[in-house]
Each structure stands twice: as structure tokens, then as C-alpha cells.
Structure 1
């Protein structure tokens, strides 16, 4: 039986790619990915057949990976971060679901053995850079309305505010979507103080990484692009300073036990 490995490449630092992900890539003859991910992985991708499809070709990437595996080639479909979080894993299973419901004509896909390998997502990388922002209940929200209507996103933003969740925003801004992050900030300001800590992590764990600490009130959308992960604390998150060191953490309630 052929195998499709659905592989997480982590946020960018080669040392944060799990041994299991590396083993899956090494076991594969064919690698399907956006080209940048293969570049970041480096030598482990040598002597493999690369199938580099550009951004916007996610459906075709998933189809190709399933086709290659169904043809008998051990294949790795690779995505940055955790491939199960706003990434390619869901497309693989959506296509399999469509095949099972008669919407595809690819019965050979159902004979493919699939293994999903988790990884470190951008929100975890950002939190680790500043301390322990995700120390209590949190959620993630994608601000891209290309696949999800803004009305649904807006409802989730209000639910996040009402629930006082720490929140990490994926897809905060692009050349054609420049207002959603500001709208999200304004909604959260209805529920938590303007002094709430905000972490901006750009190109996390990569050579040109930039970490910025600010507050919800002072946060400028001009400081954000598609390479930025935006994490907003809850009403209890703390920004603490010790000389030239700064940390952000979200307490769990241990204070009354200390």
C-alpha cells in the first residue's frame, strides 16, 4: 500500500522540524510543497523529486499529492507550521470526503495510507519568543475572508472577546485585504483594556525574525503583513520588564496558591 505523509515543517527554523517529519521526508521519493518550504528544509530535500506549486494552488497540490501516492510513489505533502492548522491537511481529507460521496472519480485515492505529522505552529513560536502568552485558554482566528464570510469571522471575534480568550490571528493582512485587522482590533477593544499586551511576530524563527511588543490601543495595522502573526492577550495577560528583558505571560490563577 502506498503512503502519503502529510508533513509539518514548523515555523522556519530547521531545528524546530521534528525528527518524525524529517524521517517522513527522507522516506519519500516525491515532495509536494510551496517552493519556499523546501528551501527552508534544506539538504533533507536533496535527491527527491520536487513538485513546487505556487501560492493559490493549494487544491492542485493536494490532488497531486494524492495522485502521486496512489500511483505507488511514497509522497510527502509539506506545509509550514502545523499542516493541520490553516494548512494542507484539511484539503486532503476534504478531497477524500468528496470521493466517498461520489463527487470525485478517484477511487485509487482511498487505497492510500495517510499519516499526518504534527508540528510547531506560528502561535506557539511567537508565544515562546516572549514567555508564556498561551498559558491559559486561547483561540485562533483567520482574518482571511477569501473562504470564510466576514460576517462569520466577525461573530467569532465577538465570541472571543466575550470569552476573554487570548487570540492569535492568522492571515491578518494582504495587499487586497487591509482593513480586517483594524476591525478585529476595534472589536476586541470593546471587551478588554487598551493596555492589553499584543505580540507581533514577523518571519518567526527565521533569519530576519522581528518581534514587537505593543498594546491593543497602540497597535498599528501598518506594522502587519502576511508574514506577521498577531497575538493578543486576554484581560489578565501581563507584560513584565526586567532591565533589557521583556516577557509576556497569561496567568492561570496560581497567584492565590503562591
Structure 2
């Protein structure tokens, strides 16, 4: 009997892989995953049996991985963190329903929100909310309800899957909801292709993003600041975004 590792590949750079993820990949007989994520791991998966899949084949991929784990060590590769919009839930559900004796281990990784935050400064810092604007698996009515509740909390909100060709208007709807609870001058960070080729980071205001969101695409992660979030400046130049954690309320510095 083999082991099925659900391996988080992080934001895309090999330097962001955890030692546990590297060990699982090295130990696995079979590597399976979306072709986009496997391409980033090419130096680590040479001379392995590699099964490449495409978007929309997540259930088939999960079943194949669980079936192979009966007599192979299998590494199911998923981007970011497996448990945050990744493959962990569907793999565990398939195992629970069809392959109950499978030995499964989830290997955590760096998720897009924290990866993007590191490129912006410290826009999250304390409490924050992550929401996906993809309505492929979640009805838009539910997403809209969650957006309203999240922005009422006054904490930063990280938006995954903000815009694609199939849903170009969802980001605008989300910004309109944010504007009901946030100042137009609220800092917003946009990071594209974080830790990958073509990486770009932008710091804009909520109002300016509402006027023009062309800089955002499916490879972007957005962080909309909370009530205390401010721009990080150096001699008048914006270097990034800071959300104070609250030390200023307890200490003098």
C-alpha cells in the first residue's frame, strides 16, 4: 500500500516550496496535477511517472490519484496551499467515499494571500478575510453576501480569482460593495504572477481601481485594506501597504 501526499506547491517559485513538499515529491513514484503547476516543478519531477491534467478535471484527477495510491507513492500537486482553494477537499472527499483505507497526508504551503502580502509590505498583519470571486463552484449570490459581511468587519480582504475572460464583471461588483463600507482612499494592493516570471505589484486606491481595473487579471491577487490600513511611504513615495497590528495602542515607538 502506498501513500497519497497532497502537496502544496506554493505560489510557483521552487524557493517557496517547503522541505516537506520537496521530500514528498522526491519520494513519490507518481506525480499528478494540473499541467500549469507541474511545469513550474519540472526540475524536481524528471525521471518520474508524471500524469498531467487540465483545469476542470479535478474530480477525475483526485480519483486517479487515490486509485494509484493503492500500490504507489503518489504526489498530488496543487498550487498555493492545498487547503485554501486547492485540491485537499476534493481528494479527501473522494478518499472518504471510494478509497477509505488510503494513507493520505496534506502538505501545507504558501498561499497566494500571504505571498502577495510579502511583496506589498504588511497589508494583512492581523485579522483578515480571504474570498474568491470565482462563481464556478459558489453561486454569486453567496459570494455577494460574504463580501458584504467581510467589508463590514473593517479588516483587510484578500480576493482570489478576481477576474477572468468568463467573468470580467465580478471584480467591479466586489469593488462597488467595498465602497459601501470603505473610504475611496483605502489602499489596495494588486500583485500579478507573484513569485513567478512577469511578477508585478501595484498600490492604488479603492476609488482609482473602481474607475479602471484593467491592471487586474486571473493571475492577480488583490488585497483591499481595512479601516486602519495605510500606504507605506518613504519621502512621499509609496513603497507598499501597512495594516498596523495595534502596537501603537500599547507602546510608544
Following the alignment from structure 1 to structure 2, what is the Cα–Cα distance between the partners of residues 94 and 172? 27
Number of equivalent positions: 248
Following the alignment from structure 2 to structure 1, what is the Cα–Cα distance between the partners of residues 152 and 39? 42
Whether 1:228 and 2:244 are equivalent positions in the alignment is: no
1:75 maps to 74
Partner of 2:106, secondary structure, is strand
2:15 maps to 15
- Unpaired stretches in structure 2, ≥5 consecutive residues: none
Following the alignment from structure 1 to structure 2, what is the Cα–Cα distance between the partners of residues 35 and 207? 17
Whether 1:171 and 2:170 are equivalent positions in the alignment is: no
Runs of 4+ in 1 over 4 A off after TM superposition: none
1:252 maps to 245
TM-score (norm 1): 0.93
Whether 1:240 and 2:239 are equivalent positions in the alignment is: no
1:57 maps to 57
1:200 maps to 190
- Unpaired stretches in structure 1, ≥5 consecutive residues: 100-105
TM-score (norm 2): 0.95
Residue 42 of structure 1 and its aligned partner are, at CA, apart by 2.7
Following the alignment from structure 1 to structure 2, what is the Cα–Cα distance between the partners of residues 93 and 14? 26
- 1:169-199: CA deviation from partner (whole Å, max 9, x where unpaired): 1111111101111010110111010111111
Residue 36 of structure 1 and its aligned partner are, at CA, apart by 2.1
Following the alignment from structure 2 to structure 1, what is the Cα–Cα distance between the partners of residues 225 and 231? 10
Q: In structure 2, which of residues 87, 98, 110 is the aligned counterpart of residue 120 of structure 1?
A: 110
Following the alignment from structure 1 to structure 2, what is the Cα–Cα distance between the partners of residues 223 and 247? 17
1:190 maps to 180
Residue 245 of structure 1 and its aligned partner are, at CA, apart by 6.1
Following the alignment from structure 1 to structure 2, what is the Cα–Cα distance between the partners of residues 173 and 245? 25
Following the alignment from structure 1 to structure 2, what is the Cα–Cα distance between the partners of residues 254 and 122? 26
